[in-house]
Amino acid sequence: MEIINTPIPDLLVIKNKVFEDSRGYFTEAYNEHVFTQNNIAIHFCQDNRSKSAYGVIRGLHYQLNPHSQSKLVSVIVGKVFDVAVDIRQGSPTFGQWYGIELSDENHLQFLIPQGFAHGFSVLSETAIFSYKCDNFYTPELDRGIAYNDPTLAIDWKIPAEKALISAKDNKHPLLSEAEINFSFTHE
């Protein structure tokens, strides 16, 4: 596994070693020792999967403290454009986002720590999306930010007329109006 820094502190891309031959492939999706050796102190407790059709945009989601969630996300089938937005008060990159294409071909993973809102758009006919979380889902602390917030100006790589958005995600507030209780701390 190769750990790759992004322009936003603490937001990481993980490039797995993939062993392919005529039978298919093998890759190690998670290794606690590699995380520990790279000073990533996250202990996962819940795995989730979703299946979505082309044009679906999910997000931007997060959970408030004290049950905020770090997520290790990847794509099992298909291709998505995955986005994380820094919502840590006091962060030099507050309100900035980073996006990356994740697919069953590139085998990349995206490590999104607590204090980030997360979303993705489906670029393939369908996609099966996987994410490990370090805290259990807590509905009363579930929050979101409008996927189309003009101050964020995220290009979801989906034509507006083809975007499929849930009723819940269409009701999220702008970042400037969102309930946030994260603080930036960096050593």
Q: Are 14 and 6 in contact (CB under 8 A)?
A: no
Q: What residues contact 87, with CB distance under 8 A and at least 6 apart?
A: 62, 94, 95, 115, 116, 117, 145, 175, 178, 180, 182
Catalytic positions, written as ranges: 61, 131
Q: Which two tokens stand for residue 26?
A: 């093998």
Judged by phi (left if over 0) then psi (alpha if -120 to 50, else beta), residue 55 lies in: left
Strand 24-27 to strand 46-53: parallel, antiparallel, or no bridges (unpaired)? Answer: unpaired
